[in-house]
């Protein structure tokens, strides 16, 4: 941790009340805004060591350090206010990510990461919450990509799963979630839910997935309506032997935006169990 001393000013800034009672100055807004991790794309870029020059310039102004290493950049992607970290685990994780022999980088299109979108919904007129699990899927034919719903948490919402296959899947494809939907906090989801019959176009529709089949039916019949999105998390499995979760930490300081909020060392079995238990994904042993 001593090697990461340069980041101590981050911690100092954390205790500064950002906006006292008066109007924040434009300079403060700019500084804070430039350093913020704005989207998951920004997170991935920074994790891979690709930091925007304006952010580097701002760090230089703040910390008087020009040659910031990838190790230090990854450290800055942790929620530094969390008290749940084991410093040794964080160090081990970062050391593995920046390992000279076999460094780990994050890829947007590989698919081994997921978004969980927690929503307020109305099911048969009753308000409740549900979390949708989405993944980036690439289409080999067009080379384009899209977000697709791959699972849903809270299956207990449905008393029974519908055995009849939803018949309108991909008949005449009309809807899709753009690969940048996450950038606007998946506001497009509401639109595709409102289109009812087309929602299944945005699902990774597997005939054996009776949960998604039931969801498609319930939305089509008007029994399941998405009200609004409460929160979003991203679960990454791209650093071998580790699972981490990023969440948006909105606050007016220099450790803000989409930051690592949970970190777990994980064997292959742990990853499989996590996907089954926390993301409700059916996995097959490798």
Q: Does 5 contact another protein by CB under 8 A?
A: no
For tokens 């009340």, what's the residue? 17
Binding positions for another protein, 129-148, rule CB under 8 A: 139, 142-146
Q: Does 24 contact another protein by CB under 8 A?
A: yes
Q: Are 259 and 247 in contact (CB under 8 A)?
A: yes
Q: Are 272 and 279 in contact (CB under 8 A)?
A: no
By beta-carbon proximity to another protein, the closer residue of 37 and 266 is 37
Phi, psi of 150 (to 5 degrees): -110, -20
How far apart CA 271 and CA 142 sit, in angstroms, is 31
Q: Are 173 and 201 in contact (CB under 8 A)?
A: yes
By beta-carbon proximity to another protein, the closer residue of 49 and 155 is 49
The correct pick among 11, 16, 180, 282 for binding another protein (CB under 8 A) is 180
The footprint of another protein on this chain (CB under 8 A) covers a number of residues equal to: 37
By beta-carbon proximity to another protein, the closer residue of 15 and 21 is 21
Which residues are registered as beta bridge partners of 244? 236, 263
Q: 29-68 mask for another protein (x: CB under 8 A)?
A: xx--xx-x-xx-xx---------x----------------
Listed in sequence order, the residues at least 6 apart from 54 whose beta carbon sits closer than 8 Å to its beta carbon are 34
Two tokens at 242?
Answer: 């580790």
Could you list the residues that contact another protein (CB under 8 A)? 19, 23-24, 26, 29-30, 33-34, 36, 38-39, 41-42, 52, 108, 139, 142-146, 176, 178-181, 183-185, 187-188, 190-191, 228-229, 250, 252
């Amino acid at each position: 941790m001593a090697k990461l001393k340069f980041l101590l000013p981050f911690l100092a800034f954390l205790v500064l009340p950002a906006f006292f009672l008066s109007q924040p100055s434009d300079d403060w807004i700019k500084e804070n805004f430039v350093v913020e991790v704005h989207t998951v794309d920004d997170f991935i870029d920074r994790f891979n060591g690709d930091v925007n020059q304006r952010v580097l310039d701002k760090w230089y102004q703040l910390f008087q350090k020009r040659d910031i290493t990838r190790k230090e950049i990854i450290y800055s992607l942790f929620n530094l206010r969390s008290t749940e970290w084991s410093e040794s685990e964080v160090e081990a994780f970062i050391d593995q990510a920046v390992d000279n022999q076999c460094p780990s980088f994050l890829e947007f299109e590989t698919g081994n990461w997921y978004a969980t979108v927690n929503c307020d919904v109305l099911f048969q007129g009753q308000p409740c919450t549900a979390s949708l699990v989405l993944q980036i899927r690439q289409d080999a034919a067009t080379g384009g990509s899209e977000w697709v719903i791959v699972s849903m948490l809270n299956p207990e919402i449905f008393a029974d799963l519908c055995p009849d296959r939803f018949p309108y899947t991909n008949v005449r494809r009309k809807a899709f979630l753009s690969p940048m939907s996450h950038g606007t906090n998946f506001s497009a989801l509401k639109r595709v839910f409102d289109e009812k019959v087309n929602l299944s176009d945005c699902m990774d529709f597997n005939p054996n997935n009776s949960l998604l089949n039931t969801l498609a039916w319930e939305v089509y019949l008007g029994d399941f309506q998405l009200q609004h999105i409460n929160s979003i998390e991203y679960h990454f499995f791209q650093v071998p032997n580790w699972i981490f979760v990023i969440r948006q930490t909105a606050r007016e300081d220099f450790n803000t935006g989409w930051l690592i909020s949970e970190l777990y060392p994980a064997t292959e079995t742990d990853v499989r169990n996590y996907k089954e238990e926390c993301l409700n994904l059916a996995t097959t042993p490798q």
